[in-house]
Structure 1
């Protein structure tokens, strides 16, 4: 298994890059999120990689961050999502955006990616729902930054509310609310909103 590549960037032809590692040139497919962060040709780079073996090919995929690679691996475990579709998803959405889409069950964001239809988007959301930690997207959404807010959000999600409903409920909470009061106030707000 090839887990990481460090070497000189020799060529960039989206989505393919060529990296020289001590005289051996590795062709690596990367999502556009990684491609846009690459340095100029001739500079040293490190990519987290995933080695893919098929009957007809051995492929190497590279990612700027460990989170991208982890998400790519989760995506390609879903039935009907291959490596090319996984790269397309990561090219169309950042890791944070995809996490937010999963937590809020927002299929419209996914259908905006070429090759992802409504049914595929719904399957992705269903399959990833239990694999995405809601707390991992909190700091990116800007809605919740405290540990108390994360606890309230986790409780609301565990009770079956989606991310969008939980975000709305959290936005109406006063500063300095305790976890138990925050949950109670959020539940009252959500019961009135329905």
Structure 2
């Protein structure tokens, strides 16, 4: 299994990136919380990874911090939660916020995430409460969606708005929701905002309801 990769960031098109490791390009799916921490294209980054092997594909998921990968691995053990939904959850809520939501049995915070209905939220709380009792998330504050939007890495993309909408759809939001949220984010941030700034603002508005 591949547990860690360090290399040059070749491409990043949320929620997927390409990492060059000694001439081999690894396609990796990452949560938006990890994307906010990535360097510019051409920079070097180390990611903690989790590999999923299926009959039709071998998929790599990357995380900037071990705590996020640890939570991802705990999430996919929950009945009805696969890697895609786990990644979507970790894109809409920080590690810290998720742990607190489970510990406080806050279903309202969880159902605002795409793909998480009331039954799934209740299952997450029931199945994960004991598992997260001693969960370590000392670095999780750095993932919070309420950070200054200006701190997001700058990227060069030809269509920031379209890129942001595509990313939100890939994360599980409906196209109509994505288009509306990105339009509102662009209005608030101003024309010329990067795709990551738009995604971050959109996720924040939708998750906070």
Q: CA deviation at 1:36?
A: 1.2
Partner of 1:10: 10
- 1:80 corresponds in structure 2 to 80
- What do you get for the CA RMSD once the two structures are aligned? 2.0
Contact 2:95/2:140 (<8 A) preserved? no
CA offset at residue 114 of structure 1?
Answer: 0.7
Preserved CA contact (<8 Å) 2:95 2:137: no
Distance 2:122 2:11 in 1: 37
CA 1:43/1:90 → structure 2, altered by over 3 Å: closer, same or farther?
A: same
Which structure's relative contact order is higher, taking Cα pairs within 8 Å and 6+ residues apart?
Answer: 2
CA 140–48 in structure 1, closer or farther in 2 if over 3 Å, else same: closer
Q: Give 1:6-155 correspondences, 5 Å limit.
A: 6-133=6-133, 136=136
TM-score (ref. length: structure 2): 0.64
Contact 2:107 2:121 in 1 (8 A): yes
TM-score norm. by structure 1 comes to 0.69
- CA drift of 1:138 comes to 10
Deviation at 1:28, TM superposition (A): 0.3
Unaligned runs of 5+ in 1: 142-194
Q: Equivalent residue of 1:110, what SS? A: helix
Contact 2:2–2:51 (CA under 8 A) maintained in structure 1: yes
Between the aligned partners of 1:140 and 1:4, the Cα distance in structure 2 is 19
SS at structure 2 position matched to 1:109? helix
Residues 67 and 140, structure 2, Cα contact 8 Å, conserved in 1: no
* Structure 1 consecutive aligned stretches of length 4 or more whose deviation exceeds 6 Å: 137-141
